[in-house]
Chains A and B, each alone.
Chain A
């Protein structure tokens, strides 16, 4: 079992009596009390590392006093700065309300800032947030799906485009990349649809507040779905249970302190701004059909405190009681991460600290051996894509250069002429090209042939040169492609080899089959690009003008803006 502190960060100063006629806005928020509360919570989180906790998590809500960290990424960062060893995470960013690229970027930042200790939690949001952000709740799942897809790509792919219903993106390549790959995601999984979503993507499932049987229903369904529909077996490490918790030296004291704190919490929770009736659209009529007693999930206005305690909405008592209660919960529900919500409502700072110390000393050691996986469920990395090319003197498994934006062919304006002559007793034929003229604004052009790197081969080169009688050239004809300045200097060789290398490729346009440039070459302003094939005299001469003769030089063409 792993242990975490989890915190809603409730504003502690909501007045006792506010009639329903009063619009509950931030008029009731005292920022200096907020500042003090933040400092207390920071101490409460930092101490957990000393006490041997495995991590700290925070979450976000909006427009409410129940949770005053509308950006949990900010509080998570504060915890990161105060700790060295513990995991730090959020559970989580409200995906349907946020821009997913920003979430991914911040996850990557926090992962790097923490040295790879971050846990990225994602949630769908609660009804009043859809009211406050004016989002259609019926679109919630679609948005979640798209947003997660984008975040996953941001954190695991080098660059991508995305043409979605809610977000359309081009050329996304986030800086920084995260340290952890694959990236750990957690999310609350209560409804059938969310369980399916998470199990498919191997996102760990969390449950908060509900009774033990409810945790068990959800986690068992998750296991079943994962096994039967997606072919993998979750371990304890894939399940997270979170509960309000308070420990004192005696049961009576713990109950008394917790009763007051929970009362405060529920009172503040009941005051979102405007929501005249339960919000439609977030769930379906099937969402909770796997649950046996869904009406016991969350306390209502008439739920007695004793039932909340029995059900585990608030686990409170002396260390012995809490140990026994949690042991049963953990064994029945089968989760491997426990999130203790120690700062209940407006509970005083000293009581929270004392509760955490008692937990660390007299509860944690007894529960730690529970629910350990024999061997962690390994996530297999996708196999690397291999593309064979026949470029240059060494066969390469790298793909061709992909970011070209131009292809020079015999019909391009860069072509000056084709030639077929005799030089030094050999037949030489081919094409000459020149970099394009300066733009009217005076900007010169560059033609860049990409060379091979660790990730890719060079720019693609395709060539076929026929003799005038239609027959093929000999395999040992020499081919050279070079760039030169207008005086014949700065000679850079793009390719040098034998004609057979082109001739033996059945389809030079098939994926990855073209010859690749052997090194990087840059044709600057007024440079010449020369493709020449040299062969022994005899036979029909090579004919660049023949209908079947062609060449293609993929390259990167751009106008250089030299203004300062």
Chain B
């Protein structure tokens, strides 16, 4: 719909079991569940607006993320996936488009594989947890701030971030986004307790019935884009778009390119020609 719909965000809460889940909601159209990752939570951001132009977006806060206190009933992406099904049930949403980034992508993949009838379209952006045979997942705990910066961001110096009027210079290392992702890393470390990848995930992904778009930053040092290739081969109806010049959060570092690819996929229209992207279908 329009930028007015996509910019009006409301906040609500639902109770799932004994958990209270806060969420943001905005936009107009078919429901889309957006599961955040290291970043992309707490504030209605540009990427939410982009999704809300094509869909009604529900963006829940993963329980435990705001305060760092992980609920006892949660110890894996699979647990979160079950909670998110409860979240959809509480809202009365049966069929949904599903988008997940980073850890949220891991949850989304499990949700779509275990509930294939409920997910119409699936978008995965640099999902964690995908582990090709013979490889090891990146050990988040072993990364200090410098290493984490280089792994998560393709552009690590001073970057120009476009606003509505002009652009502002931002030092990535001292930006609010880095702080947010670093904090999320700590939550993940406590949650996952060393199990940063699931060797079964690629096999489980074969059960996904939804049309799937996988977007991956080529410079992602937290999750290698080659895992996306393996994932695209496993998921029955999948397309992979690898974005040069982008790290773990490609919707921030190649904002317009990623938003357009996701939007065209959700609308079911042809993708623009872009010789820079690697595509696998």
A residues with a Cβ closer than 8 A to B are 126-128, 130-138, 269, 274-281, 283-285, 287-288, 294-300
Bound CA–CA A287/B87 (angstroms): 40
Asked if B177 lies at the interface with its beta carbon under 8 angstroms from chain A, I say: no
4 tightest Cβ-Cβ pairs between the two chains A and B: A298-B166, A134-B2, A134-B4, A130-B3
Q: Looking at chain B, what size class is its interface with the partner chain?
A: 20 to 34
Q: Answer whether residue B49 sits at the interface, using C-beta atoms and an 8 A cutoff.
A: yes
Q: How far is the CA of A277 from the CA of B167 in the complex (A)?
A: 13
Contact check, B167 vs A297: say whether CB atoms are below 8 A apart.
Answer: yes
Contact, CB under 8 Å: B3 / A277? no
Judging by beta carbons under 8 Å apart, are B254 and A285 in contact?
yes
Q: List 13 A-B contacts (CB under 8 A).
A: A126-B164, A131-B3, A132-B4, A134-B4, A136-B3, A136-B53, A277-B44, A277-B49, A281-B53, A281-B256, A281-B260, A284-B256, A294-B167
In the complex, are the beta carbons of B168 and A300 less than 8 A apart? yes
**In the bound complex, do residue A280 and residue B7 qualify as a contact, i.e. CB atoms below 8 Å apart?**
no
Nearest-CB distance from B264 to chain A (Å)?
9
Structural contact, A281 and B4, CB atoms closer than 8 A: no
Cα of A136 to Cα of B4 in the assembled complex, Å: 8
Which A residues are in CB contact (< 8 Å) with B263? Answer: 138
Report yes or no: A280 in contact with B259, Cβ–Cβ below 8 A.
Answer: yes
Q: Check A295–B169 contact: CB distance below 8 A.
A: yes
Q: Cβ of A297 and Cβ of B46 under 8 Å apart?
A: no
B5 CB contacts on chain A under 8 angstroms: 134
- Contacting residue for A279 out of B49, B166, B257, CB 8 A: B49
**A295/B7 in contact, CB under 8 A:** no
Given contacts A127-B164, A285-B256, A300-B168, contact A280 B4 (CB under 8 A): no
Interface, chain B (partner A; CB < 8 A): 1-5, 7-9, 43-50, 53, 160, 162-169, 254-257, 259-260, 263
In the complex, besides A134-B2, A134-B4, A295-B167, 17 extra interface pairs with C-beta distance below 8 angstroms are A131-B4, A136-B2, A136-B3, A138-B260, A274-B7, A274-B8, A276-B9, A277-B45, A277-B48, A278-B164, A280-B49, A280-B50, A285-B257, A287-B256, A294-B160, A295-B168, A298-B167
Are A279 and B164 in contact (CB-based, < 8 A)?
yes
- In the complex the two chains form, what is the Cα distance from A277 to B50 in whole Å? 11
| Pair B44/A276 contact, Cβ less than 8 Å | yes
A134-B3 CB under 8 A given contacts A277-B43, A279-B49, A280-B46: yes
Residues of B within 8 A of A279 (CB): 3, 7, 46, 49, 164
Contact present for A275 and B165 (CB under 8 Å): no
Chain B residues with Cβ below 8 Å from A287 are 256
How far, in angstroms, from A269 to B164 measured CA to CA in the complex?
11
Could you tell me the distance in whole angstroms from the C-beta of B126 to the nearest C-beta in chain A? 17
A133-B2, A295-B160 known; A281 vs B50 contact (CB < 8 Å):
yes
Which residue, B48, B50, B164, B257, has most C-beta atoms of chain A within 10 A?
B164
Contacts of A130 in B (CB 8 A): 2-4
Q: Which residues of A contact B259 (CB under 8 A)?
A: 280-281
| Contacting residues, chain A, for B162 (C-beta < 8 A) | 278, 283, 288, 294
Cross-chain contact B3 with A137 (CB below 8 angstroms):
yes
Do A133 and B256 form a contact, CB below 8 Å, given A277-B44, A294-B160?
no
**Closest Cβ of chain A: how far from B87's Cβ, in Å?**
22
A126 / chain B contacts, CB cutoff of 8 Å = 164-165
Closest beta carbon of chain B to A286's beta carbon, Å: 8
Q: Is the CB of A135 within 8 A of B2?
A: yes
**B42 to nearest A CB, angstroms?**
12
Q: A299: nearest residue on chain B (CB-CB)?
A: B166
Note all chain B residues with C-beta closer than 8 A to A134: 1-5
- B43: which A residues are within 8 A, CB to CB? 276-277
Considering only CB atoms, which chain B residue lies closest to A127 in the complex? B164
Q: Specify which chain B residues have a CB less than 8 angstroms from the CB of A278 in the assembled complex.
A: 46, 162-164
B7 close to A297 (CB less than 8 A) = no
Q: Find the A residue at minimum CB distance from B48.
A: A277
Contacts of B53 in A (CB 8 A): 136-138, 280-281
Complex interface: chain A residues within 8 A of B3 (CB)? 127, 130-131, 134-137, 279
Measured CA separation A342–B160 after assembly (Å): 30
- Across-interface contacts of B47 in A (CB, < 8 A): 280
Chain B nearest CB from A128 CB (Å) reads: 7
CA of A276 to CA of B7 in the docked complex: distance in angstroms?
A: 6
By a CB distance below 8 angstroms, the chain A residues around B49 are 276-277, 279-280
Least CB distance from B223 to A in Å reads: 22
Q: Which of A133, A285, A288, A297 has the most CB of B within 10 A?
A: A285
Distance in angstroms between the alpha carbons of A481 and B88 in the assembled complex: 78
Within 8 Å CB of A298, what residues of B? Answer: 165-167
A134 vs chain B, min Cβ distance (A) = 3
Given A133-B4, A134-B1, A136-B3, A275:B256 Cβ within 8 A:
no
Contacts of B9 in A (CB 8 A): 276
Residues of B within 8 A of A135 (CB): 2-3
Q: Which residues of B are found within 8 Å of A127, using beta-carbon distances?
A: 3, 164
Residue of B nearest to A137 (CB): B3
Name the residue among B4, B165, B256 with the largest chain A CB count within 10 angstroms: B165
Q: Among A138, A275, A283, which residue has its beta carbon within 8 angstroms of that of B7?
A: A275
User: Do A131 and B7 form a contact, CB below 8 Å, given A126-B165, A285-B257?
Assistant: yes
